Structures are given as C-alpha cells and as structure tokens.
Chains A and B, each alone.
Chain A
Amino acid sequence: MLLLTAGCGGSSDAVRSTPPARATTPAGRLDLGVVAITARIGRDAVESAGVVVDSDRGLIATTAHGVWGARSVKVSTGIAVLHGRIVARDACDDLAVLETQPRLPGLVAVQPSADGTLVSGRPIVAVRRHSGLPSRGPELVSQRVTVRSGGVRRLVRGVRPKGAIALTAGALPVAASGAPLVGADGRLAGLALVAERRHRTVRAALPWGTISARLRELRPGGRAQYVGWRHHYGCSEALHRYQAARHRGYRRGDAQLNAPVPATRLAGTEDVDR
C-alpha cells in the first residue's frame, strides 16, 4: 500500500488488496502453478508444460527438449500469458528453467512432496493446461499415470536423464512433456518427460528429488542470471539432432546461449555523417 495514502484517513479503504482466493485450495494452487509453454522451434510451434518452482522470481521448471533452440517462448499461466526466458538448461537430464518476463505477482509454486520420490505402482496425476489467455473455459487437464518399476534406457538418442523412471500413461501426449506429476496429497512428486522416438512415444518420469537437487546447483553468473549447470553443453549434440529431425528450419545457432554478437559498425564512427 502506498505509504503516503496510509496517513490520509480512509483513503486506503476504498482500494483494497484482492486476496488470492484461488491459492487457498489445492486446485487453485495447481491452477496458479501449472503453465503451458509454446516454443517456436524452427518453423514449428511446440507445446509443452511446466511447473512454477519459484513464484517470487517467476521461475518455471520444464523439459529441455521442449524449448531447445526456441526463437520464441510464451508461457500461459493462470494469471496471464507472459514471455519466457531460458535461464538454465541441461540436455543430459532434459531439464530447463524458464523465467517469466515480466515478473508479476500471483503465481504459486506447487508444494513438493516430502520425500521427492516416485513409488512404483502408485497412481499419480499428470497436470497440464491449455495455452492461451486465462478465463477461456476449463484450462487444466489431468490424466492418471502409473510409475513402473525400472529406469528408462534413454529418452531420446544420447539423452538418458539420471533417475528417470518409466511411466505407464496410455495417451499422455508430447504436449504433456514437463507436466507436473502430482500425488494424492496434491503435492509435486516429479515431472513427466515425453518425447517422440522413431514414430513411437517414450514416456518417463523424473522424481522431484532429482530435479530439486539440480536446481540447488544453479548459481547466478556474472552477467546472465545463471551460469547454468555443469553439464550446460553436455548432450547438446543429441538434442541438436533430435530437434533438427523434427522441426524444419531448426538452426543450431538458435540453441547457443551467450553467442557473441559482432559489431556491425566500428566504434568511434558514431559521429560520422551526423
């Protein structure tokens, strides 16, 4: 509240803060914590999902292959459609972190489960939302999935996320890649990884414990917000191949973060012709 108005006797009464009523229920928290991501990769618009992990800073966890080489990232949230900026990614674990632009209040981080593990045979729910502006009808889509015993040999060629577990999910689409996996207690148990491989779809789950351990390794860099993970450029060749095979117009250069931008006119010529 504006402090100047606080002393103006009653001026603060007329314009009251609207309580975030939606955030008080589990469904409401999910609505404000689950996002849809639309990335322009090559000439294709690629849909995926993500989950808010830091509401204050607008940080979203999603899969790396859903945004790798994106020339445009839009994040549809429960409050608005925002721009997305890739702040860190790890091709080997198929993990990426986006930041919303601009930073706005109202997003809610989904509470993680206590142990951060996925129990084989226990049903969980993959939650995603439709992209686009909020308040256009039902936006959240949930689908029951089951964790199988045993790991995943590889998600795509050259990418084998550590700790990934196979998922039984009949028709979980590629657009659900990055969708939070939520247990019966409404808490976050992991992230769904869905990728296409030779005309078939591979579905896996990354336990939240693995993801949060990776997130803790992130450190701000000198210029960019994060320097990224240790494996920032590891497995990148595999994702280059994966994207090039699926998206026409994909360019390797679009996936290079911090690529140098050469000057197109020499410094010191600013006053020429002026």
Chain B
Amino acid sequence: MARAGHVLSPQLPSGVRARALLGGLLALLLLGPAAAVLLIGDDAAPPPPVRVDEVRVGTLPTDIAFAQGRAWVPSAGSDELVAIDDRANPARAGSYRARSGALRVASDGLTIWLAGAVGNSLTSVDPLFGSEASRHSIPVGADAVDVAVGPDAVWVSNGSRGTVTRVDPVTDRALGPPIRTGRFPTALAVGAHDVWVVNSGDGTLARVDPRENLVVGRRVPVGRDPQDVAIGFGSVWVANRGDGTISRIAERTGRPQASVRVGGAPSALAVTTDALVVLDSERARVLRLDPKTQRITNVVEVGGFPTALAVGERPSLWTADARRGVVTRVSR
C-alpha cells in the first residue's frame, strides 16, 4: 500500500514547525553546503519543504537497494523481494518470492542479489524480465549473511564459517575457495581497490585484495559488535553496534584514523555526497557525520524498529521499519 506524499511547509500549523526544522536538517544532509548557506545565512528564509512518503512492503523489511528506478526491499517475514517505484508518488510495483529467505539485498543497477538464511545460496533476480525465469539460485556452499556487488564480482559473507565467497555474476558460480577473514563476517563493502569485511564475532575489519582473493595485512581492530561498513571520503567507516561508535580507517593504508562516539547502537551506514549517514537502531534515529569535522548532527528520529538505511537518487533518504513493515522515503 502506498501513501501519498506529504509536504512540510511553513504554512502548516505551528505544531508542525519543529518537525519542519528537522526536515531542514535533513535537507542540509541531502542538498549539501548550498542549502546550508540558504538556511543558515538568512533567518527569514523558510526551510525547504521536505516530502515524506511511506510504502507498506510486508512483514519485517530488512534492507534496501536501488536498481532500474526502483527500490528493492527484502521482507524476512513474508520471504519476498518487494519493488517500489521511486517516482513522485512511490508505490509498490510488485514482488518476487525469494524462496531462500530474504534478509540482505545488493544491486549493480541492473541485477538484484539477495542473501537469506534458508539454504546456502544467493539469489539473483533480473527485474527486466519480471518472471520466474529471471530468478537464479547460486549455491555458495555456506551461509549467505550479506552481499555486496563490485565491478566484476559479487561478494558474499559466510557468517559462522568465517569466510567470504566470490561469485562470478556472468556464470553465476562461486569463484575459488572461500577466503577466511575472521569470526562471523557480518557485512562487506566493495571499494575502489579492495573489499572490506567486518567480522562481528571478533570486532575486526579485514581487507581482501580482489585481484588475488587474499586478505591483506593484519585485521584492524574496530569497536564491539560491528554491523555495517561503508566507504567514502577516502575512508572506510564501520558502525559498531556494541559500543555506539563509528570507526574510521584510511582506505589507502588500512590504518585506523579515528573512533567517533555517536551513542546508541549504530547498525547501518550510507554515504551521501558530503556526509556519512548513520542509523542508530536503538534510539531509532538517523545521524549525520561530517567527514571533515567528524561532528555528529541528529537528522531525524524515525521511531519503530529501523533495520535499513539507504540513499536514493532524487536525492532521498530511505529507511525501513521492521516493526510496522513500512519503508519511508524522505525527499525534497
């Protein structure tokens, strides 16, 4: 079910203004420095309107990815992959039965890759065809906890086995033996040169060279119970749910640069043009981390049980609330 968008503007009742201010903060995040000058430099200028849309996606949405003008959301409870048209009024456009459990999703812009806990396989969905024939199951021989897509490979973290598996997106086959990275690799991200893997079981970050399928150097200790990793601004960022910190590691050298305390339980990350966005699943809020000053700003409180965070194309910010089974898009 889709919700029509709502525009927050200064003409709204006074009770809305505080939230409009929050919307302004979000606009700062999405629009960058130009909007900041506009908002801060002129007190009389109203904050730009922010539009909020909600789409019901099923039971327990757990992740968000974008491909072919749509947001793709796996729903763990209903074991389906739901497509949402990312248009002016976002609407549910269809769904695919995952059949392997649907927990994490990634995309290269064309194909959707789905990781779940049923079976030991990865599922690829090509939405161009929109039929059962477009769904392929790729055995990986181990758990498929998270998935990330690079220019020439799809990477899967294998959880209890402590490895990551490389999958060839052309032949839909696992390439080479699994690469051991540490205890319970939970999330991974593909950078310009390397694949970065966070091991939540031992609180470390491993760097995999995709040319040789080898772990490079020692694993970098991060915080406790790391849950997500993102790459941006020349750094690798790790969200440590167990101690409420964000670890910053130099992408080029792999050396720790900083640990930023954000509080709560940071569990998901996304990168915009000018900031790192952090989802605090404990306090149900979205934070903005300025990569230059490392200053934290509270962007919006989302409530519910947020499980996923993504930055869309409009630009827009997407979150998934597993408790209500709703995906929310916040845009200009």
Indicate whether A and B interact. Answer: yes
A residues whose Cβ falls under 8 Å from a Cβ of B: 1-9, 11, 14-18, 70-75, 79-86, 101-106, 132-134, 220-225, 257-259, 261, 263-270, 273-274
Stretch at the interface among B38-46, B55-63, B131-139, B229-237: B55-63
B328→A84 contact, CB < 8 A: no
Chain B residues with Cβ under 8 A from A106's Cβ? 60, 77, 322-323
SS class, residues of chain B in contact with chain A:
loop
Contact partner, B62, options A86, A102, A257, A267, Cβ 8 Å: A102
**Which of B253, B281, B303 is in CB contact (< 8 Å) with A3?**
B303
Cβ–Cβ contact A134 & B77, under 8 A: yes
Q: Chain B residues in contact with chain A, CB under 8 A? A: 1, 3, 6, 8, 12-13, 15-16, 18-20, 22-23, 26, 50, 52, 54, 56, 59-60, 62, 76-77, 79, 101, 103-104, 116-118, 120, 142-143, 145, 158-162, 180-184, 186, 193-194, 200-204, 206-207, 209, 211-212, 214-219, 221, 224-225, 242, 252-254, 267, 281, 300-305, 307, 319, 321-326, 328, 330
Top 10 nearest A-B pairs by Cβ distance? A267-B217, A223-B203, A7-B16, A80-B76, A8-B6, A7-B19, A105-B305, A264-B214, A1-B303, A81-B117
Report the Cα distance A17→B284, complex, angstroms.
15
Q: Give bound CA distance, A268 to B180, whole Å.
A: 20
What separation, in Å, do the CA atoms of A6 and B143 have in the docked complex? 40
Q: A8-B16, A80-B76, A83-B103 are in contact. List 13 more A-B contacts (CB 8 A).
A: A3-B19, A4-B23, A5-B54, A72-B159, A72-B161, A81-B118, A85-B184, A102-B307, A106-B60, A133-B79, A225-B201, A225-B242, A258-B183
Report the bound CA distance from A224 to B224 in whole Å. Answer: 6
B242 closest partner in A (C-beta): A225
Contact yes or no, B12 A273, CB < 8 A = no
The answer to whether A15 and B56 touch across the interface, beta carbons within 8 angstroms, is: yes
A-B contacts, 30 of them at CB < 8 A, read A1-B324, A4-B8, A4-B26, A4-B52, A5-B6, A7-B8, A7-B20, A9-B12, A11-B3, A15-B324, A17-B323, A17-B324, A73-B160, A74-B143, A79-B59, A80-B79, A80-B101, A80-B117, A82-B117, A83-B103, A83-B159, A133-B118, A221-B224, A222-B224, A225-B201, A225-B242, A257-B183, A258-B183, A261-B219, A264-B215
